[in-house]
Structure 1
Amino acid sequence: MDFDLIVIGSGPGGYVTAIRAAQLGLKTAIVERELLGGICLNWGCIPTKALLKSGEVYEQLDHLGDYGLQVEKRGFDFDKVVQRSRKVSAQLNAGVAFLMKKHKIEVIEGTARLEKGQGAPKVVVALKAGGSRTVQAKNVILATGARARTIPAAGLEPDGERVWTYREALAPKAAPKSLIVIGSGAIGIEFASFYRALGADVTVIEALPRILPIEDEEVSKAAHKAFEKRGLKFRVPANVKKLTKSASGVSVEIEAGGKAETLQAEVAIVAVGIVGNVEDLGLEALGVKIERTHVVTDAHGATGVPGLYAIGDVAGPPWLAHKASHEGVHCVEHIAGLKPTNLNSPIPGCTYSTPQIASVGLTEAQAKDQGLDPKVGRFPFRVNGKAIASGETEGFVKTVFDGKTGALIGAHMIGAEVTEMIQGFTLAMTLEATEAELQATVFPHPTMSEAMHEASLDAYGLVLHI
């Protein structure tokens, strides 16, 4: 055996898995066909947050008068906005390279394919530098991620000019003055939020009855209202019938409420989900089970093929970087025989729009569907001292407790910096906290996190400040 472990893919799932394996004393290699850090670091999570920060700061200029401030001239340099985003990614890409060297993880640059080997499949790599290299390990972990889903039949095939995926939207030649976003999940809403902040006319199309459909219904409705207040337009529910490109832009034919409508814009962004990167890996020949473009695994990431595992986006939802890292660490600790206990840890989700949205656990509706008797608490930021002082009074915190046991089973937030606050509830759920522990916890004053305490109190009729 050349290695104890080979990881295919160096995104947040892959490179974190490789580091944990090295910490456990496993001789480890990682195969990457593009850039260390994968899509998340180079073309996803990280650069989008850099763009969103630029948009947020620019949008705040409209409200300087509320803070007693003023500026003489307002404007932006779109090229510099994009360049900053790319520099952030480049810095972190170099950081991953440093971590690989620090932990003595061999990086093999090229495209991997699996073939039957002695025990685990052997990995045949078509090297970037030319030629090929075949390596064998005791275990192989697939962390190949996913890519944007496209619908060619309706004309929703990206061309990099008029029809974009997230990748083109991150570094276009110029900022569009008008934009149609097809899909209102986190990716679609984040790009809609960014381009609207820079002044673009943005319309979001969603086929389901409400935007951000995986979020709690109250949060979804509040987000819709908040986004419309900022100038975003929505067509919900609406089905895209056809997209037509021209030299000047796109025309999108939709049907909503039985009525046909044609929308026009300079550019369309397709954000209708993702598909797993399972092609050209040799998985079918090995007998790996694949369902709806994702590798089927057991609770520890095992595929059913001896020595072959899969983690992260390629193994199915939720398609989140931190879920991939978590699964990877669990998987490699299981391989090492450590019997990890973090199998059912709650996975928070975040949308970095303005306002931000964050959630963990069950929604109120999901709790009821599961036959639970939820106790629900709410607290608005409009009566929170820090929120008022900061001029960030939009939104609320919602908590969901099991009425029988008192266990916190869900939390949902919309407002400023709630993506930084949700981890408090995630930790509480990991520790199996009940309302008693949350109500007994001292929250610092003045902070927006006090709304978390008040929402926990409110679920039991004990709220103090409303």
Structure 2
Amino acid sequence: MRITVLGAGPAGYAAALRAAQKGAKVTLIEKERLGGTCLNWGCIPTKVWVESAHRWRAIQEVADFGLECTAHRPNLQAIVARKNQVVETLVGGIQQLMAKQKVHVLRGRGTVVNPRLVSVQLADGSREEVENDCLILATGSVPASLPIPGLDLPGVMTSKEALDLKELPSSLVIIGGGVIGLEFANIFQTLGSKVTVVELLPCVLPGVDVEIVRRLMPVLKKSGLDIKVSTKLLEIKKQDNMLALILEGSKGVETLTAEKVLVATGRIPSLSGVETKALGLELEGRFVKVNPYLETNLPGVYAIGDIVKSPMLAHVATAEAETAVENIFGKRQAMDYSAVPAAVYISPEVAYVGLTEEEAKEQGLTYKVGKFPFTANGRALTLGEAQGVVKIIAGENGRILGAHLLGPQASELVAELTLALRWGITTEQISHTIHAHPSLAEAVLESAHSVFGKALHFS
């Protein structure tokens, strides 16, 4: 079987590898770099910066641990160099995997001529035609642009440019208080910039459990972040060596100046090389419409990743890739979105899976809530990171409906609760499972106990 995959992000390269493992003859087409946005300009490089900020914060807090240290200043050039090294290591790893699985990688801009043929313009200007029996579309997403005057001014950047900054801006305004915006706010505020976050909606992290956001806000403000919600950006102007932002909020119109502006207002699907009307490819708004098996309306054509209407997360894209390939090979497996974890890499971390308490109420479900604060967790106290809580929402039978974490290593702790939600493990079963001591995971254990009022170390 000949399979063509258009796009080599987490969706595309995973699909190519899995299809090759199953014996298909695979061609993977990518116009930029293997790994796509996530690996090259998103998830991975951002986390390099997050870790540098975390280490810098730790240096500033060493006195709390009985240590003496003379701190210097952040070296952004060294951070960028390390970021590039990590990215190149991982990209190189993908290249080796492609070679080992005998995936034919074409570097060029692919255009879908018809469902069985893709034309690729290579870097040297020549073209190569690729025929297939099945086509997988995985063309990813691009930053959403806003119709606001001044977004093209020097000093206004997206997350892609921010990852390569060699000097720390004295002041930075971030437009957008979602995951991307808050992660960059945390990074640059920790490293020493004066950061202001401007969010159009009434709260940051829309879609996250309201209680978690409510607990997070005082922590962010105490760290020095200036957060303006229910505030609209009207225009950006050049003002001497600075940028002037005209904002409209609850108190009327105001002007805010900053050295740099980062636009982090989310992403939209990219269908580069896919002429939907000419092909007759059915859409669902801006997204490619697929059935539960990730099939489009065109026979033998599948769509996965950010171009379908599912959470724009790398791990979701990878899961969709594996599901699509299984279906190509006849398994008939529906994509399951019932347990999709997500994390926000700030300090303290936020992670969640399943229903929020607000969604449980809206659906009229009968539920119980268990909570356990990290202030009562021994390991969190030894780490000096005792802010936050583990919150579990469970049905009357103890089956988990949702879980929401604010605190140290929340992105790791959410895995246990994701597994429990996916396979119907109850809070009682979690509470009857021995967890290591001292560990942060004990907060999950105690939260499970707390659902039915049986927490041992908190009342």
Aligned counterpart for 1:31 among listed residues 29, 32, 44: 29
Mapped partners of 2:320, 2:242: distance in 1:
42
User: Which residue in 1 is equivalent to 2:424?
Assistant: 432
Distance 1:401 1:158, change over 3 A: farther
Task: Please identify, of 339-348 and 58-67, the stretch whose mean Cα deviation from structure 2 is larger.
Answer: 339-348
Mapped partners of 2:217, 2:91: distance in 1:
35
Mapped partners of 1:368, 1:375: distance in 2:
11
Aligned counterpart for 2:363 among listed residues 348, 365, 370: 370
Aligned counterpart for 2:194 among listed residues 194, 201, 204: 201
Alignment of structure 1 residues 376-387 onto 2, 5 Å: 376-387=369-380
* TM superposition shift of 1:158: 4.6
User: Which residue in 1 is equivalent to 2:406?
Assistant: 414
Mapped partners of 1:262, 1:409: distance in 2:
44
User: Which residue in 1 is equivalent to 2:97?
Assistant: 99
Q: Deviations over 1:270-326 (max 9, x none)?
A: 111111111442222111122342211111111101111110111133110000000
CA contact (8 A) 1:406 1:434 kept: yes
Mapped partners of 1:156, 1:309: distance in 2:
39
User: Which residue in 1 is equivalent to 2:176?
Assistant: 183
CA contact (8 A) 1:158 1:165 kept: no
Mapped partners of 1:156, 1:276: distance in 2:
24
Q: Deviations over 1:435-464 (max 9, x none)?
A: 221221211111011111111111111111
User: Which residue in 1 is equivalent to 2:120?
Assistant: 125
Alignment of structure 1 residues 149-188 onto 2, 5 Å: 149-151=144-146, 153-155=147-149, 157-158=151-152, 161-188=154-181
CA contact (8 A) 2:182 2:346 kept: yes
Kindly provide the amino acid, as one letter, of the partner of residue 438 in structure 2.
P
* TM superposition shift of 1:258: 4.5
User: Which residue in 2 is equivalent to 1:56?
Assistant: 54
Asked if 1:145 corresponds to 2:143, the answer is no
Asked if 1:423 corresponds to 2:415, the answer is yes
User: Which residue in 1 is equivalent to 2:4?
Assistant: 6
Runs (5+) with no aligned partner, structure 1: none
Distance 1:51 1:344, change over 3 A: closer
Mapped partners of 1:177, 1:72: distance in 2:
22
Mapped partners of 1:303, 1:13: distance in 2:
16
Alignment of structure 1 residues 250-399 onto 2, 5 Å: 250-340=243-333, 343-399=336-392
Give SS of 2:92's match.
helix
CA contact (8 A) 1:150 1:158 kept: no
Asked if 1:450 corresponds to 2:442, the answer is yes
Q: Deviations over 1:405-459 (max 9, x none)?
A: 3210100001111101111101111111122212212111110111111111111
TM-score, structure 1 as length reference: 0.96
Mapped partners of 1:55, 1:207: distance in 2:
27
Mapped partners of 2:138, 2:240: distance in 1:
39
Mapped partners of 1:300, 1:260: distance in 2:
49
Asked if 1:462 corresponds to 2:454, the answer is yes
Moved over 4 A (4+): none
Mapped partners of 1:344, 1:71: distance in 2:
47
* TM superposition shift of 1:78: 1.2
Mapped partners of 2:343, 2:234: distance in 1:
30
Tell me how large the CA RMSD over aligned residues is. Answer: 1.4
Mapped partners of 1:456, 1:239: distance in 2:
41
CA contact (8 A) 1:150 1:156 kept: no
Kindly provide the amino acid, as one letter, of the partner of residue 295 in structure 2.
A
CA contact (8 A) 1:13 1:325 kept: yes
